[in-house]
Amino acid sequence: MADPIHERPLRILLLVALILVFLGGAAASYVQTDGGRIEIRDVRFMGTDGTLMSGLLYIPDGVSAENPAPGVLAIHGYINSRETQDGFAIEFARRGYVVLALDQTGHGFSDPPAFANGFGGPDGLRYLRSLDIVDPDNIGLEGHSMGGWASLAAAAAYPDDYKAIVLEGSSTGAPFAAEGTPEWPRNLAVVFSEWDEFSQLMWGVDVPPQMVEGEKLKTLFGTDETVEIGRLYGSIEDGTARRLYMPRGTHPNDHISTEAIGYAIEWMQLNLEGGNDLPPSDQIWYWKEIGTFVQLIGFAIFLFAAGGLLLLSGFFKELRDPLPEARGATGIGRIIAIVLTVVIPALTFFWLQNQGSAWFPVSAFWPQQITTGIMVWAVGNGLISLVLFLVWHFTSNRNEGATNDNYGLTWAGRLEWNKILKSFLFAAWLVFLGYLLVAISDWLFKTDFRLWVVALKPMSRLHFQMFLAYLIPFTFFFLVISTVINGQLRWVHADGRPMSQGRSMLLNGIILALGIIILLIIQYVPLMSGQPLPLGEPLLTIVAYQFVPLLLLTGFILTYFFRKTGRVYAGAFICSLLVTWYIVAGQATHFPF
């Protein structure tokens, strides 16, 4: 039989998973509401051309129509969502500001397409000013990356309707954004980190420290001399104030930097009237991040515990087949196969994703540009891996007596479609149960499951429609990869005995993620040594972050469920459903539905 499943430990593990999900959610909720002193509302409002916009509204205790408060519009960057701004939103709200953390157009739960209507910035400012609990003459704008451009779009559309602006990892004059002058935008702080990947795009310099000598920044600050970090230029009273902050960190690190968030707080306190004098150094947002990370860990544990228990149930019990005899690669051939499995995804990461945009323009069927690029990368790697696997099988391993049974593909040489279908139903039911946990957390705590840029969130109806379109290509990829790591690269001892389940899971997770880890090291060692990214591609480099934990987890899942079912299908289907959901819900939608 396949590896044994022990019911009692799995029940205990399931209980632990649920405790982590709900305890982490309760802790995150307690922090983001500042112990009940901040109300958080999930709001929808109508924007330009009937575009439905989404946001989280943070309302401090004591704020009312009779006692309006200053307001801050906080806007995330490209391929993020409103929750990404939680560090800023929590800390602004703790200082007495009403905060609207906006989903840009085409992001989160706001209607597509992305980039439309000034990224949603003008609509967000107009909505915030319309609230009777907000002082309409006392509003600040804060935006990270493309959210900075959304803030600039709002400032350009309503030049008299805000008092100050913070550009986090952003700039004036970049694509889609208005050019800055010493007089516009009003009272501007630029927070640009020392290792920000986008210095060339944003400020026309190779690395961020050079921006103080750049003509673009000097023109914006109204000086011919080197811009001094931390110095106040211009006048707050006249609306010409300028200040440059340069925290230590990368572009996405701004979201989890007490330094970067503290600078934004400091600037708003200098420019907005009202609120309280809580110092910028007094921050608690990171405890919320820890809470949602605990939820994410609980979710991962849930998949294994609930999946194991489901395989003990009457309907899915027949999926428990004997583990087939291992007939994988050995010797130097095994080493070559492992190296190729590690290296090929990293070598193709940038090229195939960029080709995806050219080969498959945005359409109603595949409407997310970045998701389509990831899909092309996955399918491309699946095809390369499949060809290499077939060459190995037909030139070498078949002569050793290996069959598709040994790879976990067939049963006595036949495809049993009823078991394959039942494997898909098993995976769908398990992922649906996991989805319910995320949806309940969103309803109960107003949290998704996240750590930094790794976030699992509920889907909208449109997201689900896109999920179905992208599912088949990702399923192909995971079926191939599951066959490679569980067939060609199965871990056994010298005497043929299977290696322990835990060790096999760890090794396969490392094999799948190691190439991306090496790619990130190649990019970031030079950057943090004062050089530009050697391979360029700042956006896709940041996209690569999340594939480290994602590929680790899929390696664990593929191995665990192969060991429990003796076949590749259950694990591959779980991974395809999970990863497609994860990517689609977190990406920008570009097609104008």
Q: Which two tokens stand for residue 174?
A: 């970049």
Measured CA angle at 369 (ends 537, 365), to 5 deg: 160
15, part of any domain = no
The single-letter code of the amino acid at 77 is G
Claim to verify: residue 366 and residue 268 sit in the same structural domain: no
* 577, 443: one domain: yes
Task: State yes or no: pLDDT of 561 exceeds 60.
Answer: yes
pLDDT at 386 over 60: yes
Rounded to an integer, the average pLDDT of 19-42 is 98
Cis amide prior to 122 (ω within 30 degrees)? no
Predicted confidence (pLDDT) per residue in 569-586, tens digit: 999 999 999 999 999 999
pLDDT surpasses 70 at 1: no
pLDDT band at 63 (very low <50, low <70, confident <90, very high): very high
Q: What is the pLDDT of residues 297-307, one digit of tens each?
A: 999 999 999 99
Shared-domain flag, residues 461 and 380: yes
Q: Tell whether 203 is covered by a domain.
A: yes
Residues 59 and 154 in one domain: yes
Interval 429-450 mean pLDDT: 97
Domain count, the chain: 2
- This prediction has a pTM of 0.96
Tokens of 442: 């969103």
Would 144 be classed as within a structural domain?
A: yes
Q: What is the pLDDT of residue 303?
A: 98
- Specify whether 133 is located in the same domain as 273: yes
Burial class of residue 520 (count of CB atoms within 10 Å of its CB; 0-12, 13-18, 19+): middle
Provide the mean pLDDT of the chain: 96
Dihedral through CA 450, CA 512, CA 426, CA 408, nearest 10? -170
Residues 89-109: pLDDT tens digits?
999 999 999 999 999 999 999
Report how far residue 84's alpha carbon sits from residue 88's, in angstroms, rounded to the nearest whole number. Answer: 9
Mean pLDDT of 266-294: 97
Each residue's pLDDT tens digit, 105-119: 999 999 999 999 999
Domain end residue (candidates: 227, 259, 281): 281
| Residue 380 pLDDT greater than 60, yes or no | yes
Instruction: Decide if 556 contacts 512 (C-beta within 8 A).
Output: no
> 226, exposed or middle or buried, with CB in 10 Å at 0-12, 13-18, 19+?
exposed
Residue 7 domain-assigned?
Answer: no
The partner residues of 45 in beta bridges, in order of sequence, read 53
Preceding amide of 185 cis, omega within 30: yes
Residue 443 lies in a domain: yes
pLDDT in the model for residue 512: 97
What average pLDDT does this structure show over 409-418?
A: 96
User: How many CB atoms neighbour CB 115 within 10 A?
Assistant: 19
The DSSP annotation for 371-424 comes to HHHHHHHHHHHHHHHHHHHHHHHHHTGGGGT--TTTTTS-BTTB--HHHHHHHH
Position 314 confidence tier, pLDDT thresholds 50, 70, 90: confident
Query: What CATH number is associated with residue 166?
Result: 3.40.50.1820
Q: Which domain holds residue 266?
A: 38-281
From CA 567, how far away is CA 578, in angstroms rounded?
Answer: 19
Please give the residue that has the higher pLDDT: either 315 or 496: 315
* Rounded distance between C-alpha atoms, residue 583 and residue 593, angstroms: 19
Half-sphere exposure of 119 (CA within 13 A, CB side): 32
Q: What is the mean pLDDT of residues 515-532?
A: 97
Residue given tokens 């959610």 in the structure block: 25
Indicate whether 335 and 261 sit together in one domain. Answer: no
6 within domain boundaries: no
Average pLDDT of the segment spanning 529-551:
96
- Pair 192, 329 in one domain: no
Indicate if the alpha-carbon torsion angle 31, 35, 38, 40 is positive or negative: positive
Query: 291: closest CA among 1, 20, 64, 543?
Result: 20
My answer on whether 243 and 357 are in the same domain is no
Q: In this structure, are strands 69-75 and 98-103 parallel, antiparallel, or unpaired?
A: parallel
Q: CB–CB of 188/238 below 8 Å?
A: no
Last residue within a domain, chosen from 281, 310, 338: 281
Using DSSP's 3-state secondary structure scheme, residue 529 falls into: coil
Per-residue pLDDT tens over the stretch 331-360 = 999 999 999 999 999 999 999 999 998 899
Q: Clarify whether residues 268 and 352 are in a common domain.
A: no
Section 447-469 average pLDDT: 96
Give yes or no: residues 273 and 331 share one domain: no
| Shared domain check, 352 and 275 | no
What per-residue confidence (pLDDT) applies to 218? 97
* pLDDT score for 269: 98
Q: Classify residue 478 by its DSSP letter.
A: H
Which residues touch 426 (CB under 8 Å, ≥6 apart)? 307, 310, 311, 316, 319, 570, 573
**At 327, is the secondary structure helix, strand, or coil?**
coil
Question: Model confidence over 71-88: pLDDT tens digits?
Answer: 999 999 999 999 999 999
345 C-beta neighbours (distance < 10 Å), count: 26
Residue 3 is predicted with a pLDDT of: 77
User: Is residue 8 included in any domain, yes or no?
Assistant: no
Per residue in 171-198, pLDDT tens? 999 777 889 999 999 999 999 999 999 9
The residue among 224, 252, 281 that closes a domain is 281
Q: Checking DSSP bridges between strand 164-168 and strand 134-144, what pairing results, if any?
A: parallel
In this prediction, what percent of the chain has a pLDDT beyond 90? 95
User: What's the rounded Cα separation, in Å, for the pair 196 and 254?
Assistant: 9
In a domain, 411, yes or no: no
Instruction: Report whether pLDDT(129) > 80.
Output: yes
> Are 361 and 214 found together in one domain?
no
